[in-house]
Amino acid sequence: MFDIGASELLLIVVVAILVIGPKDMPAALRTAGRLIGKIRRTSAHFRSGFDAMVREAEMEEMEEKWKAQNARIMAETPAGEMGPLPPPDGASAESAALPGAADETADDKIPEDPKAV
C-alpha cells in the first residue's frame, strides 16, 4: 500500500527513537498498533457495506433485465402455441408419455436396509 522499503523503515525508526525516546517507545508502538487496528476495522466495515450496496444494485438491475426479457418472450409467444414440457433428465420421452410409468418404478424399489426407512 505505502511501499516502504527497508532503508525508509530504518530511517523512520531512528527518527522515532530520537523524537519519542527509547523509554516511551513501547507505549507509543502500542498506541500506534491500536490506532492502526481501529483504522483497519473501520475500513473493512465500510468496504463490506459498500460491497453489499453494489451487490444489491446489481441484483436489482438483473431482475429488471429478466422481467423485460420475460415480458418480451410472453408478448412474442401466443398463449396456445406453448408446447408440452420436456421430460425430466434421465427419463425417456416414451416413459414420460405413459401414464403411471413413473409410479411403477417408484413402487418397485425396495430399500436394501429396512432400518434406513
In this predicted model, what pLDDT tens digit does every residue of 51-99 receive, in sequence order?
A: 999 999 999 999 999 999 999 988 888 766 666 667 777 665 555 555 5
Averaged confidence pLDDT in the chain: 80
How confident is the model at residue 12, as a pLDDT? 87
**What is d(CA 28, CA 23) in angstroms, rounded to the nearest whole number?**
10
Whole-number pLDDT of residue 9: 82
Output the CA torsion sign for 106, 110, 116, 117: positive
The one-letter amino acid code at 56 reads E
Across the range 10-33, mean pLDDT stands at: 89
Tell me what percent of the residues of the chain surpass a pLDDT of 90. 35
- Decide if 62 contacts 54 (C-beta within 8 A): no
